[in-house]
Structure 1
Amino acid sequence: MVGMRSDRARARARHLLATVYPIPEDDEFYRLRELAIDYIREADRLDAENGDAATESDELISAALDAMARDFFARALARTASQDDR
């Protein structure tokens, strides 16, 4: 049950994010996306290695994605601000 709610929340967040801020066509976005995927894979690897519960893995993945999202939006806002100054 928790997984289903989590999946729905992720899908809703993805839709909202795509609506408000469409995917940019720049190399930095793809670099950050690959970095997020690497974080998720590392969290999964550590989870399997340590035999931790799935909930902890979800928390690690969520924390990694939150950090990536904060970095992404900070860069997007900085880029927008620098373009406004021109």
Structure 2
Amino acid sequence: MASMRNDRARARARNLLATVYPVPDDVEFRRLRELAIDYIREAERLEAENRGREVESDEMVSAALDAVARDYFSRALLRAMSHRKR
């Protein structure tokens, strides 16, 4: 049941984010997205390998994804500000 709530929360967050800041089609975005996907896959692989023994808490995974998102948005804002100055 908790998994369903997390999935719904992620979906809501993704939809809100998409409406506020649409996904750009640039190389940097794809690179950061791939890093996040790789991190999640590795965490899931390690968790499955240890048969349910939690390798990393959900909070640690969330913190890592937050760091990726902050990095992406700071770069996007800097890029947007540099385009405005031109």
TM over 0.5: yes
Question: What runs of 5+ residues in structure 2 fail to find an aligned partner?
Answer: none
- Give CA-to-partner distance per residue, 1:36-83, whole Å, 9 cap, x none: 111111212332344423882x33432221111111111111111111
Q: Structure 1: where are the runs of 5+ without partners?
A: none
Q: TM-score, normalised by structure 1?
A: 0.83
> Which residue of 1 is the match for residue 69 of structure 2?
69
CA RMSD of aligned residues (A): 2.0
What TM-score do you get using the length of structure 2 for normalisation? 0.83
Deviation per CA, 1:4-47: give whole Å up to 9, x if none.
21111101100001101111011111111111111111212332
Query: What aligned pairs does 1:5-84 form with structure 2 within 5 A after superposition?
Result: 5-51=5-51, 52-53=53-54, 56=57, 58-84=58-84
* Mean Cα deviation higher: 71-80 or 44-53: 44-53
Question: What is the aligned-residue identity percentage?
Answer: 68
